[in-house]
Structure formats: structure tokens, C-alpha cells
Amino acid sequence: MPALYWERLLSYHSTQTIQKKLERCYKNLSEENSSGLSYDNCYRFIYFLKHGENFFLQANQSPQAIQPILLFYGISQLLKACLLIKDPNYPSTSSVLAHGASSRKRKKQQYQFLKDEIKVQRNGLFSHVAKELFQIQDHLEAEKYSMELLLNQIAEMNDVLLFHQAKKNYVKVETTGQRQIILTDTTAQYFHMSAERLSEFLGKNHHLEREKDATNNQIILRTKYSNHTFHCSPFLFHIEDNAFYLPNKRESFLSLPELLVHYLLLYNLSMISRYETEWWYELLLGTSNDDYPIILRYMEIAKRKIPYFILKFLEEHL
């Protein structure tokens, strides 16, 4: 499946086509020198895409010990390509060049990956992507996320988390033929609400448009993206089931797009791989606790899902 996404992304490796598409985007942004900017950026765009792809392809052929590093630099390059669509002057300042996240100092004894936290920094690639690609700019600074909460935003983790934690983390939701979310009382009862009340809660906190279908006694929720799978939080898209889910606990509802979830997870795993070598190799060679299958399963999902999301973003905007 990942090979298919990289194959489809080959269409974006043509300067002849990409320059025209970027120029149209820049005109829509009211950029004065849209032609010159598109000429300069079409090469950079393709190089970022290709560099990101090479990191991902190399990760598939590399030992598990260094895969997080390759995947993190891969997603960083792919996001930079996407940024050029929304921010033709990227990077306009050095402040956007940092990673934009920090991991806490790890305790050597009884460290648990799922309980580890990551903190969002004011400046850097993470916050710049959040602002330019997703129009999120007012509530991420200094926000902390646990690895468990972030992993719970990835629907494909359901099987492995259910096996090891013996608890169900997601509720499947119905959709229309246009992949818009249908809220029913059956779904809402998991949260001890009516469908009407749950839709109000989600609409207010996650900026979703809602429409009541009186005929079928259900509520339709819409996102602002035509590619609903790209950014549908707090709903989660399961790429293998081709279905949408909702975390079954309200405290697990995040407005964080899944691409940014992957960025944070891979940042932390890459830092562990680089600087917590003893713990990392004890995990990989000892396979003594649940962190081992959970982390390895996550990395396999990331290899498939990140190129899928990048493709969806490019299809939406170019």
C-alpha cells in the first residue's frame, strides 16, 4: 500500500506542472511575484518531496533501531513541501527551523514510554505547520501530550492496544456516501449524551459544521476539508478499515490533526533512539514489556499513513 502512495506522488515531481499549480496558489494568496516565487519554489517543493520519500524508503530497509530517526526526518521533509504551498517565503525566519517540540528528561528506572510526555514549543516547524496548514495558532504553545494520548489518536492502534490493555479505545461511527460523519443516539450513548448534545459539544470544541437530518433523526457533521480523511479530528480515520472512529473517552478528544500527532510521536521516538541508547536497545533486544510491540506496530502504521496524508493534502490544495 505505501508503494502506491509514493507512485501517485510521482505526479508531483514535474517542475512543468508544479510551477503552474504553485503560481495559481500564490495568486490566490495575493502574492505580488507569484510567477517568480513559483519558479523558485517548484524545485524546492520536489526536492523536499523526494528527500522525504528517500527517508521513508530507507527506513523500510534499515534496522528497527534507527527507523524512528529516518521516519522523523522523512515527515519533516514532506511537511516542508506542503508548507511551500501555503507559505511561499518559507523559511522567512530562523525561528521556524527548530523542531518545535521538546521531550522531558527520562528517568533511568521504571521508565514507561506510554507515560512519557512531549511539550510543544512556541516556535519551530511544528507550530508553523499547525498555523499554515491547519490554521491552528492560539492554544498549542506549552501544551503537553502523553505518548498514550497521542497513540490513542491513531485508529489502527486499536488491535494492539486492545490486546495489551484489555480495553476498547474507540467507537466506530457511520458516514454518508461523501464521507461526512453521521451522529446517532447509539454512538452518543457511549458518552452519556444524546446525538444532539454530542454534536453541540463537538461543534463548539472542534469547529465542525452540523446539520440535522430530521427525516432520519440523525445529525451530519462536516469538516472544512473536502478530503475528510485528512483532518477530521476528533474523529479518526482508519486507513485499513476505510472507516471513521471516535475515542470512547471525552478526555481523549483532540483537535490535533493526525499528521501533527505523527510528528510528535516520531520526534520523541527519534530522540529516544539517539540519546537513550541503553534503554532503546534493552527494549529492542529484550522485548520484555508492552512498549516493544506497541512502538514497533506504531512505526509500521506511520510508514503507511504519513504518505497517505501527504498525498491527500496535495490533492486538496494543488
Please compute, for residue 317, the number of CA atoms within 13 A of its CA located in the half-sphere on the CB side: 24
- Report which secondary-structure segment, H or E, holds 213: strand 209-213
Which grid coordinates belong to 19? 510551477
Residue 224 confidence (pLDDT): 64
- Domain positions in the chain are 2-153+257-317, 157-252
Per-residue model confidence as pLDDT tens digits over 184-206? 888 888 888 888 888 888 877 77
Q: What rounded mean pLDDT belongs to the chain?
A: 90
Whether residue 243 has pLDDT greater than 80: yes
Per-residue model confidence as pLDDT tens digits over 301-317? 999 999 999 999 999 99
Percent of the chain with pLDDT over 70: 95
* pLDDT band for position 288 (cuts 50, 70, 90): confident
What would the mean pLDDT of 15-23 be, rounded to a whole number?
97
What would the mean pLDDT of 276-302 be, rounded to a whole number?
92
Whether residue 222 has pLDDT greater than 80: no
Whether residue 177 has pLDDT greater than 90: no
Q: Cis before residue 91, ω within 30 degrees of 0?
A: yes
Question: What are the beta bridge partners of residue 207?
Answer: none
* pLDDT band for position 210 (cuts 50, 70, 90): confident
Q: Which residue, 275, 286, 237, 257, is CA-closest to 68?
A: 275
How many Å is the Cα radius of gyration of the chain? 20
Buried b / exposed e along 300-312 (16+ C-beta atoms within 10 A) = ebbbbbbbbbbbb
> pTM of whole model > 0.85?
yes
